[in-house]
């Protein structure tokens, strides 16, 4: 596929499209208009057409989108058909939660191995994923193709472990440590899960609703 | 504070501003231009000025922003000074990870109680947060002010537990279950942590870089 530089906002909407299309397909919906897709996603039809137009021509005037075909195309844009491999570093609570509940394969990733320093974990496996010692990490990376590392070490270890990974050729990190790792000069791709950003957006919406309630109550009181 | 309807994109950028401003303040930076703030965040200065202008006048022409004052104002916009209370429902791996590593109080929330069905957990406490039986959840919500529920039950339990919470007056849910809970007719605020969206964005960037590398290799081969 020929790629042009696409804005970050468009890229960030593609996973939402994929989730929605997968859900529609599961529910037996075969065809959808950009209007209806927009309604369900809280986006305008023109926004949706514009987003997809970054990657080619997918819909058909007067017909709309073929749901299974579009799901496949969006999946392909996102790379889910490339068989990317991943390893997980840090089998604590969050690491275990991901190994236990998160379906990597549903999104095209194969989680092949995990690493930890805890002797009680080393040599065991969790949900089918073998756990090895951090001492074996360097050799593993050298000998195996690793497209991405899930970084779930404690935040105090985040920076040194990330540095170690990058030094050893890791080019993409999914960062759960709540520590900023992005270095302006590194070519490593870092995707951060910022729980706090999500919590603060939620906080905003609660505050907004409370203010609306208070304003409404004040108006009612004035009227009486 | 008087609130006007602010676009979702602006709201979603505010937590990033807060994190950056907290970091700057910690590093002793007292004053910053919108140009420099933009450079550090990958945004244009005019974008930043526009975002803040949704909430009032914060900067000063020719001076820039006072970092501690702006951090406080952004925090206030996001509601971190309102003392919101939270409870957590579902003390599994992800619940434990949040109770263990995530600093709710840093973002203005007090995590007061947790609930689970596991008899081995009930009556204990984790990181200072008492864990009670799900049987006591209804009474707890009735007797205590709960601004938000952290939903960390297994995904199979997500919908029934969310329904139960909403029926019992819960108005905001921070949803870690990977299940869609948003109902168009419910006034409940649901903030989803979608691990998959983040993973798929990462996947896109890996695919993009691989394509660029392949294209470069092909060009080099042509030249030789």
What ipTM was reported for this prediction? 0.88
Q: Does A126 lie at the interface with B, CB-CB under 8 angstroms? A: no
pTM, full prediction: 0.81
Q: Does A189 lie at the interface with B, CB-CB under 8 angstroms? A: yes
DSSP assignments along chain B, one per residue: -------HHHHHHHHHHHHHHHHHHHTT--EE-HHHHHHHHT--HHHHHHHHHTT----BTTTBEEHHHHHHHHHHHTTTTS-EEEEEE--SHHHHHHHHH--GGGGTEEEEEEEES-TTTTT-EETTEEEEEGGGHHHHHHHS--SEEEE-S-HHHHHHHHHHHHHTT--EEEE-SSS----TT---EEEE--HHHHHHHHHHHHHHHHHHHHHHHHHHHHH-
Pair A200, B78: CB distance under 8 Å: yes
Instruction: Please report, in tens digits, the pLDDT of each residue of chain B (224 residues total).
Output: 445 678 888 898 899 999 999 989 999 999 999 999 988 887 889 989 999 998 887 777 778 899 999 999 999 999 999 999 999 999 998 999 899 888 899 999 999 999 999 999 999 999 999 999 999 999 999 999 999 999 999 988 999 999 999 999 999 999 999 887 866 567 899 998 888 899 999 999 999 999 999 999 999 888 87
The answer, yes or no, to whether residue A183 has pLDDT greater than 70, is no
Could you say which residues from 204 to 223 on chain B have a Cβ atom under 8 Å away from some Cβ of chain A?
A: 204-212
Residue in A79, A93, A204 nearest the CB of B100: A93
Q: Does A81 lie at the interface with B, CB-CB under 8 angstroms? A: no
Could you say which residues from 5 to 24 on chain B have a Cβ atom under 8 Å away from some Cβ of chain A?
A: 9, 11-12, 14-16, 18-19, 23
Size of interface A-B (CB pairs under 8 A): 181
List Cβ<8 Å contacts ≥24 apart for B40-45: B41/B16, B41/B17, B43/B13
Q: Does B38 lie at the interface with A, CB-CB under 8 angstroms? A: no
Give residue A182's pLDDT band: very low, low, confident or very high (50, 70, 90).
low
Do residue B197 and residue A12 have CB atoms under 8 angstroms apart? yes
Beta bridge partners of A149: A87, A173
């Amino acid at each position: 596929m020929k790629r042009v530089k696409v804005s970050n906002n468009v890229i960030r909407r593609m996973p939402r499209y994929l989730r929605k299309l997968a859900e529609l397909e599961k529910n037996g919906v075969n065809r959808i208009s950009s209007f209806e897709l927009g309604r369900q996603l809280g986006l305008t039809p023109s926004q949706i057409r514009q987003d997809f137009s970054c990657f080619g021509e997918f819909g058909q005037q007067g017909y709309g989108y073929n749901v299974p075909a579009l799901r496949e195309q969006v999946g392909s844009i996102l790379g889910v058909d490339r068989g990317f491999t991943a390893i997980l570093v840090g089998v604590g609570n969050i690491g275990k939660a991901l190994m236990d509940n998160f379906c990597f394969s549903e999104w095209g990733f194969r989680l092949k191995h995990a690493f930890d320093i805890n002797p009680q974990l080393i040599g065991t496996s969790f949900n089918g994923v073998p756990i090895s010692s951090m001492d074996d990490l360097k050799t593993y990376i050298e000998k195996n193709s690793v497209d991405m590392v899930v970084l779930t070490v404690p935040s105090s270890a985040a920076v040194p472990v990330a540095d170690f990974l990058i030094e050893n050729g890791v080019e993409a990190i999914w960062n759960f440590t709540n520590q900023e790792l992005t270095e302006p000069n590194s070519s490593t791709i870092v995707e951060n899960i910022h729980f706090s950003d999500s919590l603060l957006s939620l906080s905003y919406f609660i505050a907004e609703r409370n203010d609306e309630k208070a304003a409404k109550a004040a108006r009612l009181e004035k009227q009486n």
